[in-house]
Amino acid sequence: MTANATRNGAVPGETLRDWLISDRPRSRRQASVGRAYRAWRGFSSNRLAMLGLVIVVGLVLVAIFANLLSPYSPYIGDLRTTRLLPPSPAHWFGTDDQGRDILSRIIQGSRITLFVVVLVAILAAPIGLAVGTVAGYSGGLIDAALMRITDIFLAFPRLILALAFVAALGPGIENAVLAIAITSWPPYARIARAETLTIRQTDYIAAVQLIGASPWRIVLRHIMPLCVASVIVRVTLDMAGIILTAAGLGFLGLGAQPPMPEWGAMIANGRLYVLDQWWVAAAPGAAIFVVSLAFNLLGDGLRDALDPRAAK
């Protein structure tokens, strides 16, 4: 960033911090980096949000290095010697009914959790963004029709509908992702539309219109980028819900199929032994809890940092 400072013609004697929090940015780059820095300052002073961020980063790292980190194979256990062992120094979280090390399975399962969350976000957020911005910018009949559809989907019970979708499509992690994505885009459309309505009134949109930009160009290049921030905040807040729904589907046997180490499915398996071997179900549930708590903390922090109106 020091390189940026010199490139943008820094005033002599100006520290990096001064450059960042300057009231009069001399370039677009400086303005946006400065804004990001200020948001980060607000965010990082929130200890709980930082904790959430640390856990989420930890989850990503664990998922990347899962193969290096897991001490045993997550798929193959020794039925003869290591079946249903309680937690011990050799198996921190114990072993399951197939003699598999639960810690290793949880580590591998982080990949599935991350896969679900990222895929749902990639599928649902753009749909919501597109519907919301188009509705907000066009107004009139298109707006009314799109928002009516959004409201209908918003009034639906999400879990039950996801259940019905998966029942029809057949169980499996991909179908679970699809079902969750189909039921989770409406809030993003609402947010994007609200943002679009305010942006539409601004002078620079009028200027772009005068230059002769097509509506598509205006929506895609000038409105959508500005809606992304608030949609991202909302997606982060929804991550916990997505994880819980996916785990619920897995628990009901409709998500990831055995022997995949999906956390919800692991709880369903541990349920059979829960009265005597409680650790089989306890550890994966705790993992789900920690990760969704982290996403909630992170989302709260992001909202407070990026949207001062909601910081009350």
Partner 1 sequence: MSTGGRGDVRLLRASNALGRFLVVILLTYLGLLAVTFFIGRVIPIDPVLAIVGDRAPEHVIARVREELGLNKPLWEQFYIYVSKVLQGDFGRSVLTSNPVMQDIRRTFPATLELATLGIIIGAGIGVPLGVWAAVRRGRLVDQIIRIVGLVGYSVPIFWLGLMALVVFYARLGWVGGPGRIDVVYEYTLVPVTGLLLLDTARAGEWEAFANALSHLILPASLLGYFALAYISRMTRSFMLNELAQEYVVAARAKGLSESRIIWRHALRNAMVPLVTVIALSYAGLLEGSVLTETVFSWPGLGLYITNSLQNADMNAVLGGTIIVGSIFIGLNLLSDLLYTLLDPRTRTR
Residue ranges that bind partner 1, judged by CB under 8 A:
148-149, 151-153, 155-161, 163-165, 167-169, 240, 244, 247-248, 251-254, 264, 267, 270-271, 274-275, 278, 281-282, 284-285, 288-289, 292-293, 295-297, 312
Q: Do you know the residue count of the chain?
A: 312
The helix/strand/coil state of 101 is strand
As given in the structure block, the two tokens for residue 278 are 């409680």
Minimum distance from CB of 223 to partner 1 (Å)? Answer: 27
Of 192 and 266, CB closest to partner 1: 266
CB 282 within 8 A of CB 290: no
Sign of CA dihedral 305, 307, 308, 312: negative
CB 186 within 8 A of CB 128: yes
Minimum distance from CB of 109 to partner 1 (Å)? Answer: 13
Taking only Cα atoms into account, the Rg of the chain, rounded to an integer number of angstroms, comes to: 24
Of 93 and 295, CB closest to partner 1: 295
- As a whole number of angstroms, the distance between CA 305 and CA 18 comes to 20
Minimum distance from CB of 94 to partner 1 (Å)? Answer: 14
Minimum distance from CB of 85 to partner 1 (Å)? Answer: 18
CB 123 within 8 A of CB 129: no
Rounded to 5°, angle at Cα 48 from 93 and 69: 30
Minimum distance from CB of 247 to partner 1 (Å)? Answer: 5
Of 5 and 270, CB closest to partner 1: 270
Of 71 and 258, CB closest to partner 1: 258
Of 31 and 142, CB closest to partner 1: 142
